[in-house]
Amino acid sequence: MTPDKPDTQDLLRAAAEVMKKVLIPALPDENRLDALMVLSIMAGAERDLADNGGLAHRQAARLQKIMSDAGSVRDLCTAIRRGDFDRGESAQTLHALLMEDVRDRLTLVNPKYLEAADSDQSC
């Protein structure tokens, strides 16, 4: 049975609509940038809710690929400082995984930036 109330994503969407259509147009110019920032944060929260913890699971899987002994992020940082990933295939693997992680985070935090970066590279 589905709950008889809107979920958090629905509430965020409704609040964003009110901000866009009612509140922001009524604000003085000097407060609009702040309101747009809040709107952007709300959109990020909505994407994060839709991801349902997927980012953390994907990050853990990437860490497991690079740290065969199920090390932590702290262990990875120590290994990088030690030079374990300075050359060869391990450096390439680490670079690819870090780039994948950055793209994954940007998809949630700022997908428009990612889209713009992708379109710039296709030229």
Task: Tell me the per-residue pLDDT of 70-98, one tens digit each, with 9 for 90 and over.
Answer: 788 899 999 999 999 999 999 999 999 99
Does position 113 have pLDDT exceeding 90, yes or no? no
Same structural domain, 74 and 38? no
How many domains does the structure of the chain reveal?
2
Picking from 77, 112, 111, the residue whose alpha carbon sits closest to that of residue 94 is 77
Range of the domain at 44: 8-52
Does position 10 have pLDDT exceeding 60, yes or no? yes
Same structural domain, 81 and 46? no
Same structural domain, 102 and 117? yes
On whether the CB atoms of residues 123 and 116 are closer than 8 A, the answer is no
Pairwise pLDDT comparison (1 vs 121), residue with the higher score:
121
Same structural domain, 38 and 64? no
pTM for the full model?
A: 0.70
Q: What is the pLDDT of residue 123?
A: 55
